[in-house]
Amino acid sequence: MKFETILVKQVGNLATITINRPTKLNALNKATISELHDAFKNLNKDETVKVIIITGSGEKAFVAGADIAEFSDFSEKEGGKLAAKGQKKLFDYIENLSKPVIAAVNGFALGGGLELAMACHFRVASDNAKMGLPEVSLGVIPGYGGTQRLPQLIGKGRANEMIMTAGMIDASKALSYGLVNYLVPQEELIPLCEKLAGKISNNSSTAISNAIKAVNAGFKTNTDGYKEEIKAFGDCFGTPHFIEGSTAFLEKRKADFK
Ligand code: COA
């Protein structure tokens, strides 16, 4: 598949998506959101892919937000539609993907950029990364899940402060908040993400997709996460991966999950 605003490459069972609008600091426009949706959809279907990394091109930005130029003249109705469509097509889509997605935050992750990183299953940052939700400085609020996922990740008080001040935090504060799992020099960012992806890909992909469902269930209103966990746990039994994993343990050998 040919894309205009993103690059997709695959090495072994690891796919990397790079948002490629460096002159606009990788801001998310309509085309980028649509291409990202298509890329994630394809990679999710592709049985040779086990883990996905998403990053931004250049050394300055992961994603500097939604493309402000595209929505500056929107009406209330158009604004609501923009958020609803974006959440469904990209942000909720990534969070509920059956394969793990790691955000390699290589610079500014602002507004929709931080929301994109937060929709991923976890985040790793380079030392130059800066994160924030500056929307209230533009007269709007985060609309791609930021008011929900930021409090989930760092707590309500810290999230409220970030949202209300519209300020940026640096990578070490993001690490201390638990917003990112690691902080490394920029040149070590992708190698570390690849190392983590390698560890993940040694495990059962079917079990991992069940774990994603169970973890996400705990954050959905009207869903009992414990019940979902019981179902997802039960679903693992009888799968070829469970048979291989448990047999390998009993035979004192390393499991080989195809
Ligand atoms: N939407 C559209 N264009 C954006 C953008 C965004 N969110 N963020 C950056 N750009 C564009 C700039 O307009 C500029 O384009 P130009 O060269 O055609 O004028 C280019 O990217 C480079 O940005 P610039 O502002 O010149 O870089 P900087 O180093 O001076 O500042 C930032 C970097 C990230 C602080 C600044 O770009 C910024 O504040 N961006 C907007 C962040 C934001 O509010 N995001 C939330 C959107 S809801």
The string of pLDDT tens digits covering residues 90-111 is 999 999 999 999 999 999 999 9
Split into its structural domains, the chain has a count of 2
Report DSSP letters for 173-222, one per residue.
HHHHHTSSSEEE-HHHHHHHHHHHHHHHHTS-HHHHHHHHHHHHHTTSTT
110 Cβ below 6 A of ligand 1 = yes
Record the pTM: 0.97
Say whether both 45 and 59 belong to one domain. yes
Please tell me whether residues 98 and 58 are part of one structural domain.
yes
User: What residue has token string 């997802």?
Assistant: 232
Express each pLDDT in 189-242 by its tens digit: 999 999 999 999 999 999 999 999 999 999 998 999 999 999 999 999 989 999
- Are 129 and 173 found together in one domain? yes
Report whether 205 contacts 47 (CB < 8 A): no
| Residue type for position 231 | K
Both 136 and 232 in one domain: the answer is: no
Q: Are residues 17 and 117 in the same domain?
A: yes
Q: Is residue 150 part of a domain?
A: yes
Ligand 1 contact, 66 CB (< 6 A): yes
Please indicate whether residue 230, judged by its CB atom, sits closer than 6 Å to ligand 1.
no
209 & 125 share domain? no
Is the same domain home to 22 and 111?
yes
Task: Let me know whether 228 and 180 are in one domain.
Answer: no
Are the C-beta atoms of 200 and 100 separated by less than 8 Å? yes
Say if CB 185 and CB 207 are below 8 A apart: no
- Domain hosting residue 131, numbered range: 6-201
Q: Which atom of ligand 1 is the closest one to the Cα of 168?
A: 35
State whether 212 and 192 are in the same domain. no
From the CA of 209, how far away is ligand 1's center (Å)? 36
Q: Among 19, 23, 25, which residue has the most ligand 1 atoms within 8 Å of its CB, making it the best to mutate? A: 25
Residue 108 belongs to a domain: yes
